[in-house]
Copies of this chain bind each other. A is one copy, B any other.
Amino acid sequence: MTQNKQATVFVRLKDGVLDPQGVTIQKALAQMGYDEFTSVRTGKFFELQIDAGAEDIDRKIDEVCSKLLANPVIETFEVKK
């Protein structure tokens, strides 16, 4: 019996790209008294369930990352299976 596969795609802003959400969180933490957190960067991830019979899946994951899940201009992505 074949099992469904899973892959997780992590998307983060490229180094040097401003992360206003992260800056806001860091400031909020400092105001709450947690000034030991000197920097916060945010990112997102997607847990993909993949049909067991799917072929050529590595290429397809790369394609959907570039086309839909990440913006290659400002973001990088990393796939973990």
Sample (17) of A-B pairs whose CB atoms are under 8 Å apart: A4-B38, A10-B45, A28-B68, A32-B64, A32-B67, A32-B68, A34-B60, A36-B54, A37-B64, A38-B49, A38-B50, A38-B51, A39-B48, A39-B49, A41-B46, A41-B47, A44-B44
Task: Tally A residues with Cβ within 8 Å of B.
Answer: 35
Q: Give A contacts to B, CB under 8 Å.
A: 4, 10, 12, 22, 25, 28-29, 32, 34-51, 53-54, 57, 60, 63-64, 67-69
A42 touches B41 (CB 8 A): no
Provide the bound-state CA to CA distance between A67 and B47, in Å.
25
B47 touches A40 (CB 8 A): yes
Q: Given the known A-B contacts A4-B38, A64-B37, are A46 and B32 also in contact in the complex, defined by CB atoms under 8 Å?
A: no
